[in-house]
């Protein structure tokens, strides 16, 4: 597709969402950078203005239906906003954590998407891009709420890829690996499950694995370049990695039977 028309990004106050909003504007889209606290977008507006690009900030909390107002027509929607939370064992995870996670990561994305689709159709087609996670490729313990929220949007994207194809709306799923953002920084600690003696050994192995990715982190600017490349590429597959680790995991997932992958990875956690 050509880089023209309106592009909307959710969760553009920081991290990957901010970098994608900036990159879309630099490439030529008229960007609506949405966020819960619009004051966080002031510097982004200045940064884009300095490049000669067009970007405005609007308030949108994906978990607050009353705040969802979208342009009449848009060529691109990037569903980026999401939460990560604590990592106790499954049995110790309170229902409130599950509900918060699904309210933002799943129901928020659904609500924004259902309100955006008429605008994408009115524009004559475009791209609906969901940001999920490469954690979907591995049976990571203590991550069930986050991973299952991302799995939900992954299957939503599959159905929408079919449903919206006749209207020229291409659905894309980006599965980031470790990207240098606040969310990744927040995960640089032992999971809460380590406090439970029954789960301690596995939690220690998890933390060891988390430390091992430190040298393999990609900047949000590089991830945004890859994401916008995929948005513009009419031949891009449904699922795209935006960093070397995610691309390698996606390749392994595509070429290895799932049970073989499961058998290979499980000992990482079970010892």
Ligand X SMILES: NC(=O)c1ccc[n+]([C@@H]2O[C@H](COP(=O)([O-])OP(=O)(O)OC[C@H]3O[C@@H](n4cnc5c(N)ncnc54)[C@H](OP(=O)(O)O)[C@@H]3O)[C@@H](O)[C@H]2O)c1
In the complex, which residues of this chain contact ligand X (CB under 6 A)?
A: 10-11, 13-17, 35-37, 40, 61-63, 80-83, 104, 108, 131, 133, 176, 178-179, 181-184
Q: Give the nearest distance from C-beta 182 to ligand X in angstroms.
A: 4
Query: In terms of CB distance, is 16 or 138 closer to ligand X?
Result: 16
Query: In terms of CB distance, is 179 or 199 closer to ligand X?
Result: 179
The conformation of residue 240, written as its DSSP 8-state character, comes to E
**Which residues in the chain belong to E strands, given as ranges?**
6-9, 30-35, 54-59, 76-79, 126-131, 169-174, 239-240
Q: How far apart are CA 207 and CA 216, in angstroms?
A: 15
The one catalytic residue among 29, 142, 146, 206? 146
Q: How far apart are CA 271 and CA 268, in angstroms?
A: 6
Query: In terms of CB distance, is 25 or 183 closer to ligand X?
Result: 183
Q: Give the nearest distance from C-beta 60 to ligand X in angstroms.
A: 6
The conformation of residue 214, written as its DSSP 8-state character, comes to G
Q: How far apart are CA 111 and CA 100, in angstroms?
A: 15
CA 220 → CA 18, 81, 174, 217, distances in Å? 9, 14, 13, 9
Active-site residue flag, 146: yes
Query: In terms of CB distance, is 6 or 132 closer to ligand X?
Result: 132
Q: How far apart are CA 90 and CA 232, in angstroms?
A: 39
CA 233 → CA 3, 150, 175, 226, distances in Å? 10, 23, 16, 10
Closest CA to 226 of 238, 243, 251, 248: 243
Q: Give the nearest distance from C-beta 134 to ligand X in angstroms.
A: 6
Degrees (nearest 5) of the Cα angle 176, 178, 180? Answer: 110
Q: Give the nearest distance from C-beta 102 to ligand X in angstroms.
A: 12
Q: Which residue is nearest to ligand X (CB)?
A: 15
Q: Give the nearest distance from C-beta 43 to ligand X in angstroms.
A: 13
Query: In terms of CB distance, is 119 or 176 closer to ligand X?
Result: 176
Query: What residues are annotated to the active site?
Result: 146
């Amino acid at each position: 597709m050509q880089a023209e028309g309106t592009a909307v990004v959710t969760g553009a106050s920081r991290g990957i969402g901010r970098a994608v909003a900036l990159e879309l504007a630099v490439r030529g889209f008229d960007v609506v950078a949405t966020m819960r606290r619009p004051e966080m977008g002031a510097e982004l507006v200045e940064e884009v203005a300095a490049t000669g690009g067009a970007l405005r900030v609007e308030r949108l909390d994906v978990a607050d239906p009353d705040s969802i107002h979208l342009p009449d027509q848009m060529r691109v929607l990037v569903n980026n906003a999401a939460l990560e939370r604590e990592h106790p064992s499954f049995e110790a995870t309170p229902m409130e954590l599950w509900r918060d996670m699904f309210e933002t990561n799943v129901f928020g994305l659904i609500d924004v998407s259902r309100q955006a689709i008429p605008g994408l159709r009115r524009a004559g087609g475009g791209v609906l891009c969901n940001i999920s996670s490469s954690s979907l490729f591995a049976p990571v313990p203590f991550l069930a709420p986050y991973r299952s929220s991302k799995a939900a949007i992954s299957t939503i994207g599959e159905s929408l890829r079919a449903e919206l194809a006749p209207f020229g709306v291409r659905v894309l799923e980006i599965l980031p690996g470790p990207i240098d953002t606040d969310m990744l920084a927040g995960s640089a600690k032992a999971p809460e499950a380590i406090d439970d003696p029954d789960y301690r050994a596995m939690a220690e192995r998890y933390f060891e694995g988390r430390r091992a990715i430190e040298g393999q982190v990609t900047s949000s600017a590089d991830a945004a370049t890859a994401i916008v490349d995929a948005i513009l590429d009419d031949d891009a597959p449904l699922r795209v990695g935006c960093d070397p680790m995610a691309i390698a995991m996606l390749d392994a997932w595509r070429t290895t039977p799932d049970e073989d992958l499961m058998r290979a990875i499980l000992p990482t956690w079970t010892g």
